[in-house]
Amino acid sequence: MEKPIGHKVWAIAEGYIPPYGNGPAPQFTSHETACILNASDQDANVKLWIYFSDRDPIGPYKVVVPARRTKHLRFNDLRDPEPVPTDTDYASVIESDVPVVVQHTRLDSRQAENALISTVAFPVVS
């Protein structure tokens, strides 16, 4: 099971980090995640760009997903080149040098009871 699985480019059109939350941190902090699975036997060098409604995209953010590992990357934790603003519509494009699989999830804890969404991201066939 060490053959590469997935695609090298993925897009997530929905993006929104709620500006506040309820419940113990970090589990119940309102957040968005790009879950990246690298089932190959090579480390994946991943670049991520954030698109906005009213200004140029920022990026690349860079992260390594080691061979045969998964990384559940919180958009909230991205710092370089700059933090992703909360309460702001965005979208993202993810590019990897080896095929990976990407799934998008949000936990919204603005109200007392949390709400969740998840969908496999859109794979870009080259």
Between CA 124 and CA 108 the distance in angstroms is 27
Q: Is 12 in the site for its own copies (CB under 8 A)?
A: yes
Q: Binding mask 65-104 vs its own copies (x if CB under 8 A, - otherwise)?
A: ---xxxxx----------------xxx-x-x----xxxxx
C-beta of 83 vs 89, nearer to its own copies: 89
Instruction: Give bridge partners of residue 120 from the DSSP assignment.
Output: 103
Q: Given CA atoms 24, 28, 34, 40 in this order, what sign does their dihedral have?
A: positive
Taking alpha carbons only, the member of 106, 91, 117, 78 closest to residue 17 is 106
Which positions touch its own copies (CB under 8 A)?
Answer: 1, 5-6, 9, 11-16, 23, 27-28, 33, 35-37, 39, 49, 51-54, 56-57, 59, 68-72, 89-91, 93, 95, 100-106, 108, 110-124
